[in-house]
């Protein structure tokens, strides 16, 4: 439940349970919603849970994750997650050198304008709390494991990192133009649940796929979902599921395609989508 020190904002679009309230401790956050990561606060049980989450996912990603993700996770000492819960300050040394990005700790879900402002300034918000044991297999809100394991490795890829900054700027503009719902779908079908074809093989790069055993196997190996060639407008027309595996995935040919096809001014797109009632 929210209290007097907890900021009020609508999370109904961010979780399938709008009565859940805001999870995490918002009482000591700064004006930009950031909080320090207190490494000493993580218990032995949380460290053990982290390692089990990491080992389970590391066993699944070879042959299923894109080459950029695998290269970062398996080849970058700064991302050796088997050492325990990562210290953001240590990771930031390597990340800043690689792509000029920084991780910032946050208490949980953020208002849209706060989140996008961080992205536009090459700061990626990472939730500081870890899921409970009862949530080991499924969690509604993004936690430390989802945010770090799913998102952070891709931030070491320059073309992807540049796209994410551009997305932040675009989202701030979209909010002014009434296009945020459509742009949220683009984020969902790329940054969260995107697939890519590399050397003729279907692989994952989206954080929601890469951090979930169920979604990873389903997205790549099930005969049920539709897998469509990436198209900016079609992705913005397509509604998504926030509490189940997806009906549809969009497949890139390359990250250059993502950058090129999302580079134009989206204002005409929003007008077209509004006229369609999408």
Q: Which of 146, 163, 215, 235 is catalytic?
A: 146
Based on the residue annotation, tell me whether 192 is a catalytic residue of this protein: yes
Exposure of 168 by Cβ count < 10 A (0-12 exposed, 13-18 middle, 19+ buried)? buried
Based on the residue annotation, tell me whether 211 is a catalytic residue of this protein: yes
Query: What's the rounded Cα separation, in Å, for the pair 168 and 159?
Result: 15
Query: What's the rounded Cα separation, in Å, for the pair 164 and 104?
Result: 15
Q: Which of 141, 211, 215, 235 is catalytic?
A: 211
Angle at 10 between CA 143 and CA 187, to 5 degrees: 55
Q: Which of 46, 68, 141, 151 is catalytic?
A: 151
Do the beta carbons of residue 46 and residue 130 sit within 8 Å? yes
Q: Which of 68, 141, 192, 215 is catalytic?
A: 192
**What is the 3 state secondary structure string of the chain?**
CCCCCCCCCCCCCCCCCCCCCCCCCCCCCCCCCCCCCCHHHCCHHHHHHHHHHHHHHHHHCCCCECHHHHHHHHHCHHHCHHHCCCCHHHHHHHHHHHHCCEEEEECCCCCHHHHHHHHHCCEEEEECCCCCHHHCCCCCCCCHHHHHHHHHHHHHCHHHHHHHHHHHHHHHHHHHHCCHHHHHHHHHHHHHCCEEEECCEEEECCHHHHCCHHHHHHHHHCCCCEEEECCHHHHHHCCCCCCCCCCEEEEECCHHHHHHHCCCCCHHHHHHHHHHCC
> So which residues are the catalytic ones?
146, 151, 192, 211
């Amino acid at each position: 439940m929210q209290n007097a020190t907890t900021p009020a904002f609508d999370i109904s679009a961010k979780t399938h349970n709008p009565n859940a309230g805001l999870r995490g401790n918002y009482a000591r956050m700064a004006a930009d919603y950031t909080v320090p990561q207190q490494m000493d606060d993580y218990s032995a049980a949380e460290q053990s849970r982290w390692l089990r989450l990491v080992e389970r996912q590391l066993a699944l990603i070879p042959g299923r994750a894109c080459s950029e993700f695998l290269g970062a996770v398996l080849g970058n000492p700064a991302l050796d997650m088997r050492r325990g819960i990562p210290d953001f300050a240590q990771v930031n040394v390597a990340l800043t050198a690689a792509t000029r990005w920084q991780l910032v700790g946050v208490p949980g879900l953020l208002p849209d304008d706060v989140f996008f402002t961080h992205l536009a300034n090459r700061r990626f918000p990472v939730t500081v709390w870890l899921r409970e044991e009862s949530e080991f297999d499924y969690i509604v809100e993004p936690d430390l494991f989802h945010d770090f394991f799913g998102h952070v490795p891709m931030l070491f890829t320059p073309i992807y990192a540049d796209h994410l900054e551009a997305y932040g700027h675009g989202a701030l503009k979209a909010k002014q133009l009434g296009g945020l719902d459509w742009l949220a779908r683009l984020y969902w079908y790329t940054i969260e649940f995107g697939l890519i074809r590399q050397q003729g093989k279907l692989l994952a790069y989206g954080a929601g796929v890469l951090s979930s055993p169920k979604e990873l196997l389903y997205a790549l190996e099930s005969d049920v979902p539709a897998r469509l060639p990436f198209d900016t407008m079609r992705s913005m027309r397509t509604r998504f599921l926030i509490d189940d595996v997806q009906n549809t995935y969009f497949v890139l040919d390359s990250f250059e395609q993502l950058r090129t096809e999302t580079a134009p001014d989206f204002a005409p797109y929003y007008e077209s989508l509004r006229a369609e009632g999408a």
